[in-house]
Amino acid sequence: MASLLQDALETIPTSPGVYIFKDQEDKVIYIGKAKNLRPRVRSYFQASPSDGRALFRIIVKNTVDIECLVTATEQEALVLEATQIKTHSPRFNIKLKDDKKYPFIKITREIFPRIFPTRDVIDDGSRYLGPYSNVKAMHKSLEIMHKLFPVRDCKYHLPSSSVKICLEYQIKRCEGPCEDRVSEETYRTTIERAVQFLKGKNSGIVKDLEVEMQTAAGHLEYERAARIRDTIGSLRATAERRARFIEGNIDRDVIGLGRDDHEACCFVLEIRDGVASHQKHHLLTNTMDASDADIVSTFVRQFYLETDFVPSEIHLPCPIDDAAAISAWLSNRGAKVTMQSPVRGEKADAMHMATANAIQVLEQRRLKRELRRDTIPNGVLALQRDLQLEKPPRRIEGIDISTLQGEGNVGSLVCMIDGKPRKSEYRIFKIQSVQGIDDYACIREVVLRRFRGLNERGEQLPDLLLIDGGKGQLSSACEALNEVGAHVPIIGLAKRLEEVFVPGESAPVILPKASASLRTLQVLRDEAHRFAHRHNQRLREKQTISSALDNIAGVGPARRRTLLRTFGSVAGLKKAKLDDIAATPGIGPALAEVIVASLNTEGVG
């Protein structure tokens, strides 16, 4: 076990908190919580560790450093874990898929607030409702809200002497805050009622409006009383169009769970005042090896982390171990929150509905994927047409060579499926048989190794192979294909004039500059060049760092990573004070002196 990891394990506290596993690049790969950090974290690194997940051993294998964040209570650890997962998006944690595509409803923090949809959540003191997975329904709710409540929809910052009354005031869609036709208190009451309406809580609004209507009638304000009466009627009609699940005015979220291979869906049926007001769904990744309880627990913590409203009841599709801690956390934000998993009666019926909808969302996603699979993009069909191929080149692989003054030659192989890059299929080949600059020989080696490997593993051959270069590079690639007996359509793309070379043809094929086929080839060729150049650049950076630190006695890979993470670079390390270097975990005064002496001797700057 690496010394840095061993040092971390020796110093783990026994308090509640969150543990963070990091890989050799200092990236966060897994985050967990525990009542007692020490036994929980050490259990990962016992002789025969297992927690029932296939990913468990991969997490342990890739961990080189551990960071612990101590909390006062288990409840704080629960919240901190959800926050850290949202911040770092670790590779192996169950995560809500990025919800930035879903809009929110924003209630601005102004003297006379506005209410409008937005996709940008900004920490400016405003309130947000959402996110809303059903965008059409959200806009419909806003449309009805503006008809029922005179909330201004202008973009002016009020109060302002330069803003005048507009048509919205004349048609009773706005109360005229721009010219002080309404007090701040009255306008804020309107805003709060509009917000309650958007949350689906109509009963309290109706009661307040009925009192206002009677008061207005008592003061002979019959026109105002009539407007309030119409608003009450519209609110009641809206409630009647929604399905009533329970008697009474209970607020409840019913969470259904659907699973399909590597992803899951949690469908939230929002019941407000006993009526189904809204539905939302959220997708989760990294769920293949997780239990239903783990998925539901993760969803609940991440979903309610930033929500504006938490109902008094949350119904779950299965019991979860940390239900008590989550209930206590949510109760601290307002009224008491209870969590349960109903098995019979009307509560179970609502759960079955939410679960069926979650499954339906996943089924629709699966069908869409299959339809996309069967739909061949225009660029791929254009390539088949322009290059006269027997079948559409749905899988295209591109090869490029990158070299640095004859040293550090690498070949990059990139893949495009149905016109889109498939980065999981990208490969780097370190050139082994070529010394110096020789593009032809390098391409020959890469093609030989790639297609020998495909044949040995029995894997699918590409429908088209693209070589970055002209006749010479193409000829070398063709020789390699013949040697391994691979029959694959192959072309070369020369960058200077964007000429396409085909085996057996002396004249190049000139594709129209604006053609979809040429654009597809250019994207693949440029991606191969970028991938090769990026890898070569990393090799050069690694060699520079290695030359400075690898020869220092006592500085191994783990300590080198710690030093570079602390001081940023070799140059930053050289500028650091001896005491700062000595204070770095795992270094100490004696080794710090050796490091400083070695760097000064080498003159690394």
pLDDT averaged over every residue in the chain:
84
| Section 30-42 average pLDDT | 91
Given this model, what pLDDT does residue 49 score?
Answer: 53
The residue type of 31 is I
Please give the CATH number for the structural domain made up of 3-93.
3.40.1440.10
The number of C-alpha atoms within 13 Å of 523 and in the hemisphere containing its C-beta is 17
Given this model, what pLDDT does residue 285 score?
Answer: 87
Quote the CA–CA distance of 581 and 566 in Å, as a whole number. 9
Architecture field, domain 252-371: 2-Layer Sandwich (3.30)
Which three-class secondary structure state does DSSP give residue 427? strand
Find the angle CA(129)-CA(139)-CA(209) to the nearest 5 degrees.
70
pLDDT at residue 31 is higher than 90: yes
Radius of gyration of the chain, Cα coordinates, nearest whole angstrom: 32
The residue type of 216 is A
Given this model, what pLDDT does residue 326 score?
Answer: 93
Given this model, what pLDDT does residue 246 score?
Answer: 56
Q: What is the dihedral of CA 581, 584, 587, 589, to 10 degrees?
A: 50
Q: How many CB atoms lie within 10 A of CB 336?
A: 11
Q: Which residue's structure tokens are 């190794």?
A: 449
pTM of the predicted protein model: 0.56
Given this model, what pLDDT does residue 450 score?
Answer: 93
- Going by C-alpha positions, the residue among 447, 446, 453 that lies closest to residue 431 is 446
Q: Which residue has the higher pLDDT, 295 or 129?
A: 295
Q: In what order do the strands lie in the sheet with 104-107?
A: 115-118, 104-107, 127-129
> What distance, in Å, lies between the first and last C-alpha atoms of the chain?
33
Percent of the chain whose pLDDT exceeds 90: 26
Tokens of 557: 């890979």
Q: How many CB atoms lie within 10 A of CB 474?
A: 24
Q: Which residue has the higher pLDDT, 84 or 605?
A: 84
| Domains 3-93 and 550-602 in one fold | no
Given this model, what pLDDT does residue 405 score?
Answer: 57
| Section 295-315 average pLDDT | 89
pLDDT at residue 58 is higher than 90: no
Quote the CA–CA distance of 474 and 452 in Å, as a whole number. 18
| Section 374-386 average pLDDT | 85
28 forms bridges with which residues in the sheet? 22
Residues 260 and 288: beta-carbon distance below 8 Å: no
Given this model, what pLDDT does residue 265 score?
Answer: 94
Percent of the chain whose pLDDT exceeds 70: 90
- Reported as a single tens digit per residue, the pLDDT across 241-296 is 555 555 566 888 999 999 987 789 999 998 887 777 778 889 998 887 788 999 99
Tokens of 271: 């019941």
The residue type of 360 is Q
Given this model, what pLDDT does residue 356 score?
Answer: 93
Helices marked H in 44-106: 55-62, 74-88
| Section 49-65 average pLDDT | 72
Given this model, what pLDDT does residue 543 score?
Answer: 58
Q: Which residue has the higher pLDDT, 427 or 409?
A: 427
Quote the CA–CA distance of 380 and 20 in Å, as a whole number. 44
pLDDT at residue 547 is higher than 60: no
Residues 106 and 90: beta-carbon distance below 8 Å: no
pLDDT band at 604 (very low <50, low <70, confident <90, very high): very low
Which three-class secondary structure state does DSSP give residue 458? coil
Given this model, what pLDDT does residue 542 score?
Answer: 60
Given this model, what pLDDT does residue 137 score?
Answer: 77
| Section 572-597 average pLDDT | 84
Indicate the burial class of 9 (C-beta count within 10 angstroms; 0-12, 13-18, 19 or more).
middle
pLDDT band at 171 (very low <50, low <70, confident <90, very high): confident
Residues 44 and 59: beta-carbon distance below 8 Å: yes
pLDDT band at 51 (very low <50, low <70, confident <90, very high): low
Domain chopping of the chain, boundaries: 3-93, 104-201, 252-371, 380-536, 550-602
Please give the CATH number for the structural domain made up of 550-602.
1.10.150.20
Quote the CA–CA distance of 317 and 343 in Å, as a whole number. 9
Given this model, what pLDDT does residue 605 score?
Answer: 40
Helices marked H in 149-291: 167-170, 184-198, 203-218, 222-241
- Reported as a single tens digit per residue, the pLDDT across 448-503 is 999 999 988 888 899 999 998 888 999 999 999 999 999 999 999 987 788 899 99
269-272, long-range: CB < 8 A, 24+ apart: 269/350, 269/353, 269/354, 269/357, 270/200, 270/311, 271/245, 271/246, 271/311, 271/350, 272/199, 272/200, 272/201, 272/202, 272/311
Residues 252 and 311: beta-carbon distance below 8 Å: yes
Helices marked H in 405-549: 439-457, 471-484, 516-549
pLDDT at residue 141 is higher than 70: yes
Query: Residue 338: in which H helix or E strand, if any?
Result: strand 338-340
pLDDT band at 404 (very low <50, low <70, confident <90, very high): low
What b/e string do you get for 378-396 counting C-beta neighbours within 10 Å, with b at 16 or more?
ebbbbbbebbeeeebbbbb
- Which CATH superfamily includes the segment(s) 380-536? UvrC, RNAse H endonuclease domain (3.30.420.340)
Given this model, what pLDDT does residue 446 score?
Answer: 92
Tokens of 502: 């085909």
